[in-house]
Amino acid sequence: MDNALYYLSIREASQLLRRREISSVELTRAVLERVRQVEPAIQAYNAVTEEVALEQARRADQRLASEDAGPLTGIPMQIKDNMCTKGIATTCSSRMLESFVPVYDATVTRRLSDAGAVLVGKGNMDEFAMGSSTENSALRKTHNPWDTTRVPGGSSGGPAAAVAAGECLFALGSDTGGSIRQPAALCGIVGLKPTYGLVSRFGLVAFASSLDQIGPMTRTVEDCALVLNAIAGHDPLDSTSIPHQVPDYTSALRADLRGVRLGVPREYFGEGIDPQVEATIQQAIARMEELGATIVRDVSLPHTRHALAVYYIIAPSECSANLARYDGVKYGYSHAEAGSMWEAMEKTRQHGFGPEVKRRIMLGTYALSAGYYDAYYLKAQKVRTIITREFQDAFQRVDTLVTPTSPTVAFRLGEKTEDPVQMYMSDICTIPVNIAGLPGIAVPCGFLDGLPVGMQIIGKHLGEETLLRVAYAYQQSTDWHQQHPPLV
């Protein structure tokens, strides 16, 4: 049985733990052994916290013995390396923060710790979450478990690959323009980007503050709901946190879709989308119609085509402001050999940041500069409002929207690194959701030549219950989530 422990769902593992058929220490050791086995090929972790994990597992077993345990008690997890973990390095996969050890936990880290989850380690990512392939990490390149010559997606490529490869039972990622959903799709797992403000961002190292959101990456939709139960809810430490009464998201899960109206927005199908990916999504839509959903095909979101341009003005602008704090003075990397303070700051950023981060800082600084602010940043914010209103209008007619998650399956390592615009196009289906602050989930819906395809389901503001219900019903009628990569 040990061989299969690392591929258990949270629900399955929790039931075994509660029945005392396995211990958290056993489960954690099985996951750690799996990490040792496949990590040389996958490179999903920046740090493996074995001693911390085993100590937390021992404490979890004590909780399980006293029956003071929830569904996440004793469950091994990975946390993306841009969320603060007290006493454990949080690098954002950047030379700038390579030796940064936080003195406090992010709110999500603390909530999962309180729930009894076991931290196996920190997940690799694109540097400061800027990228779509995890090739921008300054520390290592993560490989897709389904084909190690291909990318896992990004920026949460480490968490996605780790869950798919059995190196943890669930992970937390962050999503600024698709960074949970796109890698989840490319690695064949479930990834949820919640409504902006539903999950606290306190302790998340900021990229673009009006777009960033933390969410779960799991094997099943039910597991996603279980993790969301633990991390959602108001946090006074986060000024953008919504004072929302969090329901039990698992109570909304049902196996049929009777009475649900699913919209198919025409702008997400056609040009730029691999025809085979589109055909796979259409097959999934047909399956949901069989489950009782009403399919509405005349939905239009015409300003969606501007979302990519809007994102690449707003996100770099916010990043240029957020990353100004890395000056070599207070914390992080500092270039010592300089003749003046200004030269030291310049050298610190020159050597501390990678090329993609520098590119986005320059884009943002330009868009915010005198004479260009109105032409770029202000105009982008106005179009953002139009995109948000179009979604609101669409949700007057439908309960959720269904689209591809990524226009293609996982591409080869190095295939797009020399063409930033092609790389940016990887997030064309996911970015509008962040622009509007809506929830979106990626669910496995098939394979093309052995590589996973993910369907994206988009919900209305704070519509996670309906979103999870639709995703769960579809997943219960398929077995795509039960497939595992061909790893040794």
Instruction: Quote the CA–CA distance of 1 and 23 in Å, as a whole number.
Output: 13
H or E element in which residue 118 lies:
strand 118-123
Question: What is the distance between the alpha carbons of residues 335 and 350, in angstroms, rounded to a whole number?
Answer: 9
Q: How far apart are CA 471 and CA 221, in angstroms?
A: 7
Q: CA separation (Å) from 250 to 20, 229, 467, 474? A: 23, 8, 12, 15
- Quick check: is 241 catalytic? no
Q: How far is CA 215 from the centre of its chain?
A: 6
Question: Helix or strand or coil: residue 144?
Answer: strand
Catalytic residue among 23, 132, 155, 406: 155
Which candidate in 14, 23, 24, 80 is catalytic? 80
Active site residue 179: yes
Q: Three-state secondary structure along 272-325?
A: CCCHHHHHHHHHHHHHHHHCCCEEEEEECCHHHHHHHHHHHHHHHHHHHHHHHH
Our answer to whether residue 155 is catalytic in this structure is yes
Residue type, 390: E
- Using an 8 Å Cβ cutoff, are 429 and 403 in contact? yes
E strands, 184-260, are 190-193, 214-218
For CA atoms 141, 481, 461, 300, the dihedral sign is positive
Active site residue: 23, 94, 156, 179, which one?
179
Active-site amino acid positions: 80, 155, 179
